[in-house]
Amino acid sequence: MRIVFALGDSALFPHGETLAGDHQARGIRDAAAALAPVCAAGHQVVITHGNGPQVGLLALQAAATPDIPYPLDVPDAESAGMIGYLIERQLMNVLPGGALVAALLTQVRVDRHDPAFRKPGKPIGAIYAESEARALAAERGWRVAANADGWQRVVASPAPLEILEARVIEMLIEKNVIVICTGGGGIPVIELEDGSLTGIEAVIDKDGASALLARQLRADWLVMLTDVDALYLDWGTEMARAVRHVTTRALATREFAPGSMGPKVRAACGFVNKTGKRAGIGALRDASAIIEGAAGTIISVDPVQPDDPGWQHGRPTTHLQPRR
Amino acid sequence: MRIVFALGDSALFPHGETLAGDHQARGIRDAAAALAPVCAAGHQVVITHGNGPQVGLLALQAAATPDIPYPLDVPDAESAGMIGYLIERQLMNVLPGGALVAALLTQVRVDRHDPAFRKPGKPIGAIYAESEARALAAERGWRVAANADGWQRVVASPAPLEILEARVIEMLIEKNVIVICTGGGGIPVIELEDGSLTGIEAVIDKDGASALLARQLRADWLVMLTDVDALYLDWGTEMARAVRHVTTRALATREFAPGSMGPKVRAACGFVNKTGKRAGIGALRDASAIIEGAAGTIISVDPVQPDDPGWQHGRPTTHLQPRR
């Protein structure tokens, strides 16, 4: 089978740890161990990943050299280089000798007229006092906005339209190379009027870009891995119950947390509705079990049994209890 | 033909410019334009590049967050991500539609017992006063040394033994994908006693790594591009003359500047002697002309004519005049 695994920040990056290199290496080692059985089983595997904490650190560090401005596509590429390399190395350590792995930089085309550019809403980088934020906005042409933590730069999160390296990625997985790509949602580029590509100050939703990639690759599965074992209804209440199987039609009647399960559900439904294939949401450690239908939440167009209403729930068991 | 082009920092990065993103983009745009005719002519092309200025900037910026230490393999990977992406994008802009380009992270295996680790000699990062350098050395386990500019951290530059992604790179060039890889000499990794790979604090000579890659790929050419149009004898004197063709045997009798032409000559001779193929050294803008034998310095095992002594010199003409 051809599978796109999207690793969330919380799958790669243990909570409460600093970003120190050895902490990151440990989180990534665990991720590689969880994915190894799927890779070794002969599936065609593509791995995407988040870059939130890492790109935030780069933005903080870049503030130390304000006279050398890098546009936002650059730290996106830098963080993809770092995380891609670390995942690749750890995978090579857990896969049988001779297994081939490649980490590719990935450009994602977005529309320069995307309405998101008129209403940038994605906070990035350091947290400022209001006066400082406004001064930076005036000086650097940033948009800034207040959130629960303070004032932050906000950038657009436009819809991904095309993964420019999809053909190369497909060539590699057809030769059984495990491919790591589309880090942090990929590097956003726009097409100018003369047809040339240029980088743009934006961040692309990682789950949305992963769903687009899965579609371009005609993947059988899009599996989004995080630190929670399934999609939950009534999350955070005593009624909380894990969803085992659900149709996209049933999901469309519910809302999920914007910064967390919301983008995953949207990406999953988009992929499933457009392709008729399946999507999974679950815990990193369950990567193998999810594609066997034995763990996580499986999202499909049709109900598992003809007479089910589109939902199948599990009960919160020890195994199903979210880790946070 | 199968060609490895190694782009020096001075080819990619115009002197006197800051590292600002748009300056770098301009240098890389010019590099892409120079390489486009070779790529479009149907050759199998691999492009490697330096990362000196970029990784230096990352080291400076990382000093802003000393509580989050990254080992040196991480900024290597970050800079390869950034530069690889920029070269890829600019190449896509100048190549015919449908041309495929890929930028790969590249790990280079070195020997953890390499004698270079006992005598680290490659200066990197910020310049300090002696007392500060010594304090950092004590605190972080660095080696530091004085040079013309002041005190700097010094790291090992071990010999590259194997490009771990060579098979993947070969798969891609066989399908006519232009591959950008081995940025900054590649990311140094060592094999531990249990056979697993881990990153190591070192930098690998870019020309040496490019020569190894060319050898692993059985390339027809290794071409090192810089901002000087050829290798010169008696450089900097009135006697200066460009070398047009030279045998490795003749080159072995001369010495060249350690930080500049020295590593290029050593890499070229190593590749040529081990493979019997040719190496070129010259200006970025002459990339096409070099592989036609019409510009640059061509290095081979055998003399061009049976009765020549191993050297053929050009006279300094306008074209042959170095730019600096």
Question: CB neighbours of A316 closer than 8 A, spacing ≥ 6?
Answer: A240, A241, A242
* C-alpha span between A28 and B294 (Å, rounded): 49
Q: Are A255 and A262 in contact (CB under 8 A)?
A: yes
Interface of A with B in 220-249 (CB under 8 A): none
Encode pLDDT of A92-115 as tens digits. 999 998 899 999 999 999 999 999
Please report the pLDDT score of residue B15 as a whole number: 66
Residue of higher predicted confidence among A279 and B321: A279
Q: How confident is the model at residue A306 (pLDDT cuts 50, 70, 90)?
A: low
Query: How much is the average pLDDT of B61-66?
Result: 81
Mean pLDDT of A143-163: 93
For residue A316, the model assigns a pLDDT of 42
- At residue B12, the pLDDT reads 82
Nearest CA in chain B to A93: B196
Q: Which of residues 61-80 of B touch A (CB under 8 A)?
A: 61-65, 67-71, 73-74, 77-80
Of A204, A173, A177, whose CA–CA distance to A188 is shortest? A204
Average pLDDT over residues A308-317: 62
Q: Tell which A residues from 154 to 173 touch B, by Cβ distance under 8 Å.
A: 164-165, 167-168, 171-172
CA atoms of B295 and A269, how far apart (whole Å): 57
- pLDDT tens track for B2-47: 999 999 988 887 666 777 777 788 889 999 999 999 999 999 999 9
Residue-averaged pLDDT of chain B: 90
Residue B307 pLDDT: 66
Complex-level ipTM? 0.93
Residues of A in contact with B189 (CB under 8 A): 89
Residue A235 has a pLDDT of 82
**Band of pLDDT at residue B198, cut at 50, 70 and 90:** very high
Structure tokens at A161: 């339209």
Residues in chain B, how many? 324
Chain-chain contact of B197 with A92 (C-beta, under 8 angstroms): yes
Residue of A nearest to B73 (CA): A82
Judge whether residue B227 has pLDDT over 60: yes
Q: For residue range A258-294, list pLDDT tens digits in order.
A: 778 999 999 999 999 999 999 999 999 999 999 999 9
Higher pLDDT, A320 or B216: B216
Separation CA A256–CA B202 (nearest Å): 46
Question: pLDDT at position B316, please?
Answer: 42
Rounded Cα–Cα distance for residues B11 and B296 (Å): 14
pLDDT at A322 over 70: no
A193 pLDDT exceeds 70?
Answer: yes
By CB atoms closer than 10 A (0-12, 13-18, 19+), residue B38 is: buried
Q: Do B81 and A81 touch (CB under 8 A)?
A: yes
List pLDDT tens digits, range A233-250.
Answer: 888 888 888 999 999 999
Indicate the burial class of B177 (C-beta count within 10 angstroms; 0-12, 13-18, 19 or more): buried
Question: How many Cβ atoms sit within 10 Å of the Cβ of residue A63?
Answer: 13
Interface probe with A: pick from B13, B72, B85, B170, most Cβ of A within 10 Å: B85
Residues 88-117 of A with CB under 8 A from B: 88-89, 92-93, 100-105, 107
- A&B contacts, CB < 8 Å: 142
Task: Give the rounded percent of residues in chain A with a pLDDT score beyond 70.
Answer: 94
Least confident range of B4-8, B109-113, B302-306: B302-306
pLDDT, residue B183, reads: 96
* B28 contacts on A by Cβ (under 8 Å): none
If you average pLDDT over residues B317-321, what whole number do you get? Answer: 37
Q: What is the pLDDT of residues A222-231, one digit of tens each?
A: 999 999 999 9
Where does CATH 3.40.1160.10 sit in chain B? 2-109+158-316
pLDDT of residue A13: 75
In this structure, which topology does domain B2-109+158-316 adopt according to CATH? Carbamate kinase (3.40.1160)
Residue A257, pLDDT score: 81
List of residues 6+ apart from A30 with CB closer than 8 A: A284
pLDDT of residue B321: 38
- Assign B323 a pLDDT band (cuts: 50, 70, 90): very low
What distance in Å separates the CA atoms of residue A128 and residue A132, rounded to the nearest whole number? 6
Average pLDDT over residues A125-143: 89
Higher pLDDT: B317 or B281? It is B281
Residues of chain B with Cβ-Cβ distance to A57 below 8 Å are: 65, 68
What is the pLDDT confidence band of residue A313, given thresholds at 50, 70 and 90?
confident
- The answer to whether the Cβ–Cβ distance between A70 and B197 falls below 8 Å is no
**Closest in A62, A175, A187 to B61, CB measured:** A62
User: A289 at the B interface (CB within 8 A)?
Assistant: no
In sequence order, the β-bridge partners of residue B298 are B245, B280
Chain B within 8 Å of A140 (Cβ-Cβ)?
no
